[in-house]
């Protein structure tokens, strides 16, 4: 009878030791440590708007002054004070002081309006972190 009870206790010991090793699949290796996440950053881009007013230009002929051309002697000047002085000299000399004027034009860039443009840029940001095991945060 003692043999039976010792056999029963051996069976119990064997079954309890097997249940304790069930995580090792019966091998003698120690169990693996719990997985530690190795987090990596996932990035995305977003547009950061920067609206600015941009002037619109057009090339135009713009009047910038007058040219005075005297009939009597062909004297020409762009300065009104010089023209007045020359006319006085002609009057004192007793000759025709008449003249004609021509408008002097220059080609210039003239602002004719404006429009809006977005001078923004792409910005990179971290939208989430992930681990190779599939976890995300």
Q: Two tokens at 60?
A: 């135009």
- Claim: this prediction has a pTM higher than 0.75: no
Question: For the chain, what is the mean pLDDT?
Answer: 85
Q: Write the pLDDT tens digit of every residue in 56-101.
A: 999 999 999 999 999 999 999 999 999 999 999 999 999 999 999 9
Burial label for 86, CB within 10 Å (0-12, 13-18, 19+), is: buried
For the chain, what percent of residues have pLDDT higher than 90? 74
pLDDT value for 35: 87
Q: Grade residue 12 by pLDDT with cuts at 50, 70 and 90.
A: very low
pLDDT value for 30: 65
Burial label for 83, CB within 10 Å (0-12, 13-18, 19+), is: buried
User: What mean pLDDT do residues 102-126 have?
Assistant: 96
């Amino acid at each position: 009878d003692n043999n039976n009870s010792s056999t029963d206790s051996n069976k119990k010991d064997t079954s309890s030791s097997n249940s304790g090793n069930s995580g090792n699949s019966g091998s003698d290796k120690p169990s693996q440590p719990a997985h530690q996440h190795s987090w990596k950053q996932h990035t995305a881009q977003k547009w950061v708007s920067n609206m600015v007013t941009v002037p619109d230009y057009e090339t135009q002929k713009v009047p910038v002054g007058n040219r005075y051309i005297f009939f009597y002697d062909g004297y020409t000047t762009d300065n009104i004070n010089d023209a007045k002085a020359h006319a006085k000299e002609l009057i004192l000399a007793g000759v025709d002081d008449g003249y004609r004027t021509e408008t002097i034009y220059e080609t210039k860039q003239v602002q004719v309006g404006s429009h809006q443009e977005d001078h923004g840029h792409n910005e990179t940001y971290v939208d989430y972190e992930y681990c190779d095991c599939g976890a995300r945060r």
